[in-house]
């Protein structure tokens, strides 16, 4: 399915939660701003909308996907009904068909990969990375006062990350996990 291929290309670039990706709606995408606004009710915390900068690579994927599903509500409609979004099993099932065991990779794993590589690069403020992951600080005092969005840094970081994904796809160095 071309929609599943598009999802597998997009999720590493934007590293949102798989449920947010599969339930994405065209009304949430602003091509002119390269922005995806995930409404608060669709986020894990359901507290605030999550803003996702769309690097050029992601916009390209979305433009191609728009030709397939742009006449409907969902970016990734269900194969059974265009009135529903893609099944929660689709991304993981596609990863299994590609040869990844459930111990090796899952849809949610792209978030851990992105976070690990960004943090290890030393280029980005860890708070900006956490904000891009839509994580909420466990410290209630810090959470009450630390409301920075780090938007400019997140835009630069997402562009860097998309370029890094391109590099890895071309055969860049992959550092295996340590046992």
Which sequence positions are flagged as catalytic?
17, 46, 108, 111, 135, 145
| 3-state SS, one letter per residue, for 58-115 | HHHHHHHHHHHHCCCCECCECCCCCCCECCCCHHHHHHHHCCCCCCCCCCCHHHHHHH
Q: Strand, helix or coil at 24?
A: coil
CA atoms within 13 A on the CB side of 136: 13
Q: CA-CA-CA-CA torsion for 71, 74, 78, 82, nearest 10 degrees?
A: -40
How far, in Å, CA of 43 to CA of 63, rounded?
Answer: 24
Residue 25, by phi and psi: left (phi above 0), alpha (psi -120 to 50) or beta? Answer: beta
Residue 167, φ and ψ in degrees, nearest 5: -60, -45
């Amino acid at each position: 399915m071309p929609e599943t291929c598009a999802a597998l290309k997009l999720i590493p670039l934007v590293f949102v939660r798989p449920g947010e990706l599969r339930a994405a709606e065209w009304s949430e995408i602003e091509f002119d701003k390269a922005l995806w606004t995930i409404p608060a009710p669709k986020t894990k915390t359901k507290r605030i909308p999550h803003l996702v900068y769309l690097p050029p690579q992601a916009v390209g994927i979305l433009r191609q996907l728009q030709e397939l599903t742009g006449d409907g509500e969902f970016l990734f409609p269900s194969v059974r009904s265009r009135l529903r979004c893609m099944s929660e099993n689709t991304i993981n099932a596609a990863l299994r068909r590609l040869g990844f065991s459930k111990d090796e990779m899952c849809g949610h794993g792209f978030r851990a990969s992105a976070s690990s590589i960004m943090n290890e690069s030393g280029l980005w403020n860890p708070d900006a990375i956490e904000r891009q992951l839509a994580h909420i600080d466990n410290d209630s005092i810090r959470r009450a006062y630390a409301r920075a969005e780090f938007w400019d840094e997140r835009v630069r970081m997402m562009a860097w990350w998309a370029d890094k994904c391109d590099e890895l796809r071309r055969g860049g160095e992959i550092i295996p996990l340590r046992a």
